[in-house]
Structure 1
Amino acid sequence: MNLRNVVWDMDGTLLNSSRVVPEAFVRAVAELAGPPVAAEDVVNAYWRGTPEVILAFLMQRQLEPLESESYYRALDGAEVAPYPGVAETLAALRRRNLPITVFTGASTRAAELLLRSAGLTADLVIGGDSVDRPKPAADGMLLAARRLGTPAEHLALVGDSPLDLQAAKAAGSHSASAAWGHMYDPAEPADSILHTPDDVLELLATRTPRTSTP
């Protein structure tokens, strides 16, 4: 195995956002006078794509211009924390001169809001609005590979959701399951199962020299 760097999923992998994100959607739908929506309905719709796509699905209609701002207002300033060990692991990767890359189904705007709230920074953020096809398609990983200047087969995607693992496999990357995340499914095949974020450091222990900075 010749892994040079990792790409991180965000929700459920870097951030414990299992409450914050569904609540923001529920508040947005209520503000827009939409149908009754529960947090579980939101989670079940994550696979559909960006926040705009999910919100339109929950509203059961196309959104009018600027209606998606209801979601971003609800998300802005929300308190969200990284999982234990995440900040320390990212710092350790930076000490190795490795860029921190995030690939999320959320929009780039939502990702930046949440990462900032959690006190985390990334060198490269690929949101669901950056690609034509959401996870489990390979698009995001292939874009990350191009931006990092690293072949996809030398990257690992760390994520808690089956969609993350399937996206890694579709790109020919190493699939690393984040077993601490809220959507972790032990039945979903993965190349590696990581029990804590710092397991990433061991995963990269035999990496080759530094990838290029995006």
Structure 2
Amino acid sequence: MNFIPLPSSHVDAAIIDLDGTMVDTLGDFSEALNRMLRDLGLHAIDANAIESMVGKGSEHLLRSVLQHVLAHVEPKQRAIQTEALYPDAWASYQRHYLAINGQYAAVYPGVAEGLAALRASGLRLACLTNKPTAFALPLLEAKGLRGVFTHVFGGDAFERKKPDPLPLVKTCEALGTAPARTLMVGDSSNDAQAARAAGCPVVLVTYGYNHGQPVRAVDADGFVDSLGELLSN
């Protein structure tokens, strides 16, 4: 199903995901993670393998990467080794990601224009991502996207992350809008599940990351090839 653009009178605000929706950050993930793995004396991981792990927060990403590179280890020992390595892995990843944040990433075509059109229509905008806030804010600044958002909430802003509905409910509260009149725009089942549970309409972009699964198989209100397709005149 394609998305029929919403007249701006039907919504008061939009919540926009970051990784895979506004910015292609796979290059950043790959560079930071492989620097981390070198620090730990482990072999590198291919970017294609990383892509399916993105979207559920940095903690999940790091554990998934460690389990992937330890795939040759017996499962029980793999779990033990993953947890033993995790503290050093987290410290290393934080350091490397902050050092290269945005350098290997690119804004998707149509994002800047789409955000400008949403703002021009009178909608309040918030960025809601599972990425840590300390990573999200500098990335948005570096890519010239920070100024359009009233609020930016990372994965550490609330007690739970997407696909739990809590971050969307709290973001709607911050925006002062009802969930039913707040559009969620994302790229994965995490965004769609959270929106459904929170009572928000949801549209997914056809590019980005969806845990290695076809995005059009996700239960959403529609799909767009560009953020510029979201609103009708």
TM-score (norm 2): 0.76
Give the 3-state SS of the residue equivalent to 2:230 in structure 1: helix
Give the 3-state SS of the residue equivalent to 1:7 in structure 2: strand
* Structure 2 residue 229 is matched with structure 1 residue 199: yes
**Which of the pair is proportionally richer in helix?**
2
- Structure-1 residue corresponding to 2:40: 32
Q: Give runs of ≥4 in structure 1 deviating > 4 Å.
A: none
- Structure-1 residue corresponding to 2:75: none
| Residues in 1 aligned to 2:95 and 2:62: alpha-carbon distance in whole angstroms | 10
| Residues in 2 aligned to 1:10 and 1:77: alpha-carbon distance in whole angstroms | 12
CA drift at 1:30:
1.9
Give the 3-state SS of the residue equivalent to 1:70 in structure 2: helix
- 1:17-57 Cα offsets, whole Å, 9 max, x none, are 233323322222223334543324433333542x2453355
What code does the residue aligned with 2:62 have? L
Gaps of 5+ in 1: 206-214
| Residues in 2 aligned to 1:39 and 1:147: alpha-carbon distance in whole angstroms | 35
Q: CA 1:131/1:41 → structure 2, altered by over 3 Å: closer, same or farther?
A: farther
- Equivalent of residue 192 in structure 2, options 141, 153, 165: 165
Q: How many pairs align?
A: 202
Give the 3-state SS of the residue equivalent to 1:101 in structure 2: strand
- Structure-2 residue corresponding to 1:93: 118
| Residues in 2 aligned to 1:48 and 1:158: alpha-carbon distance in whole angstroms | 16
* Structure 2 residue 62 is matched with structure 1 residue 55: yes
| Residues in 2 aligned to 1:41 and 1:144: alpha-carbon distance in whole angstroms | 31
Give the 3-state SS of the residue equivalent to 1:63 in structure 2: helix
Q: 8 Å contact 1:156–1:175 — kept in the other structure?
A: yes
The equivalences for 1:13-162 within 5 A come to: 13-34=21-42, 36-49=44-57, 51-59=58-66, 60=82, 61-64=85-88, 66-121=91-146, 122-162=149-189
CA drift at 1:8:
0.6
- Structure-2 residue corresponding to 1:209: none
- 1:149-200 Cα offsets, whole Å, 9 max, x none, are 1111211111111111111111111011112334361111211222221122
CA drift at 1:132:
2.0
Q: CA 1:129/1:34 → structure 2, altered by over 3 Å: closer, same or farther?
A: farther
- Structure-1 residue corresponding to 2:204: 177
Q: 8 Å contact 2:15–2:183 — kept in the other structure?
A: yes
Which of 1 and 2 has higher RCO (CA within 8 Å, sep 6+)?
A: 2
Superposition RMSD in Å: 2.4
TM-score (norm 1): 0.82
Structure showing greater radius of gyration is 2
| Residues in 2 aligned to 1:87 and 1:109: alpha-carbon distance in whole angstroms | 22
What code does the residue aligned with 1:161 have? S
